[in-house]
Amino acid sequence: MRIIAITNQKGGCGKTTTSVNLAASLAANGRKVLLVDIDPQAHATLGLNIKSYFSIYNVLSKITHQKAKLEDIIQNVSPDFDIAPSSIILSTLEQELAGEIGRESRLWDTLNNFKVNYDYILIDCPPNLGILTINAIRAADEVIIPVEASRFSLEGMDQLLSIVNLVRDRLNHIVDTKILVTNFDSRLAHSFKMLEKIKSDFRDRLLSNIIHVNVKLKEAQNQGTHIFNFDKYSRGAKDYYSLSREIITQETSPENTGKTESAPFRKTEPKPIAVLERKMNEILKKELPKLTEVIFSVFAPDAKDVYIAGEFNNWKLEDSNRMLSNNGTWSKKLNLTSGKYRYRFVIDGKWIEDTSNPLREINPYGSVDSLIEIDINK
């Protein structure tokens, strides 16, 4: 089994597009593939039209009351292609793991105890270098870093590679790192210049196949499917199919067992554990999602029991989500990170929307959820 994390802290460079379509093309080659979505934005999950109240959060969290096993949350996408879905509540895991020993190995532990046999496990990472990304790198044998040819810069690459080195030095876990050029526009001279620069900077780390700009890839995502279900004759399908062939030809190479070390990007001296621990703490401190206090309230003078339930608390009706009454106005303070959340009030067992909030959306079950959007930078 090969475990490949698709990661780059830069947003929008093609991580999810690559995870989804590489998974689909490996499956089209007869390989059994599981895509694990560990991005709280859940773009892979949503982009494949997967709906589930259980997610990888229920597998990785130790404090959730709705604990699940990885095999319990897996859903089938298409033949030989399964997904372990994500959800916005996964963002709270960063906080939960902040002070825990072994926090970087939670996903690795899960995959080690996982009994279902897949040829490939791909991991779609969030656009940051927080604990979820570190978990992915720690769990993976290989890392693919998508780099956009259109706006390539080395900014941030050092930080990402220092995490790979950190995992190597601290956990003695060797990860083979490859660069994938994405969004290549052959109409622009600029793209070719960038490709040359990437080649000279990364040489043998560069995957030979590149992914061209192809609007069909975006359209497939918007239609809730992968490119082979949407337009298998498109340039995007061809590119990802060729990439999957390149990955498959490396199957017998000892390099991909993750047990032998290929030349690192930068030779670093092994560092004492304390130094590495401090560095990991520094990175985590910077990357931990910032929270903001939000007060929810609803006027229900005759109610006896009121809860706030939403994507931020996994829709759980438990004591921590109970609202308090003051002269008939029930309220509850929650600390939330940036994101868009659906929620409802549950008044004496009845699920109702927040009538004081004009933002709302029909949910997959046909009823209405209220919506709140938090941007901690505002």
Q: Does 14 bind ligand ATP (CB under 6 A)?
A: yes
Q: Given candidates 88, 167, 211, 298, which one binds ligand ATP under the rule CB under 6 A?
A: 211
Q: Does 221 bind ligand ATP (CB under 6 A)?
A: yes
- Nearest-angstrom CA–CA distance, 340 and 313: 13
Q: Does 43 bind ligand ATP (CB under 6 A)?
A: yes
1: its two tokens: 């089994």
When the beta carbons of 20 and 371 are compared against Mg ion, the nearer one is 20
- Tell the smallest beta-carbon distance from residue 326 to Mg ion (Å): 42
When the beta carbons of 43 and 138 are compared against Mg ion, the nearer one is 43
Number of H helices, E strands in the chain: 13, 15
3 state DSSP class of 98: coil
Q: Does 16 bind Mg ion (CB under 5 A)?
A: yes
When the beta carbons of 72 and 246 are compared against ligand ATP, the nearer one is 246
Q: Which does 9 bind (CB under 5 to 8 A by kind): Mg ion, ligand ATP, none?
A: none
Strand segments, DSSP code E, in the chain are 2-6, 33-37, 75-78, 81-84, 120-124, 142-148, 176-182, 291-299, 306-310, 324-326, 329-337, 339-347, 350-352, 360-362, 368-374
Residues in the chain: 378
Map the footprint of Mg ion across residues 66-125, applying CB under 5 A.
none
Q: Given candidates 3, 5, 7, 15, which one binds Mg ion under the rule CB under 5 A?
A: 15
116-133: string of b/e by CB count within 10 Å (b at 16+)?
eebbbbbbbbbbbbbbbb
259: its two tokens: 């047990």
Q: Given candidates 2, 31, 43, 344, which one binds Mg ion under the rule CB under 5 A?
A: 43
Q: Given candidates 3, 5, 7, 17, which one binds ligand ATP under the rule CB under 6 A?
A: 17
- Nearest-angstrom CA–CA distance, 239 and 78: 19
Q: Does 218 bind ligand ATP (CB under 6 A)?
A: yes
- Nearest-angstrom CA–CA distance, 48 and 347: 34
Q: Given candidates 12, 119, 238, 288, which one binds ligand ATP under the rule CB under 6 A?
A: 12
Do the Cβ atoms of 205 and 178 come closer than 8 Å? yes
Map the footprint of ligand ATP across residues 168-197, applying CB under 6 A.
182-183
- Tell the smallest beta-carbon distance from residue 14 to ligand ATP (Å): 4
Q: Does 339 bind ligand ATP (CB under 6 A)?
A: no
Site string for ligand ATP, 118-147 (x = CB under 6 A): ---------x--------------------
- Nearest-angstrom CA–CA distance, 143 and 199: 18
Q: What is the torsion angle, in degrees rounded to the nearest 10, for the CA atoms of residue 147, residue 150, residue 156 and residue 157?
A: 40
Contact positions vs ligand ATP (CB under 6 A): 11-17, 39, 41, 43, 127, 182-183, 211, 213-215, 217-218, 221
Contact positions vs Mg ion (CB under 5 A): 15-16, 43
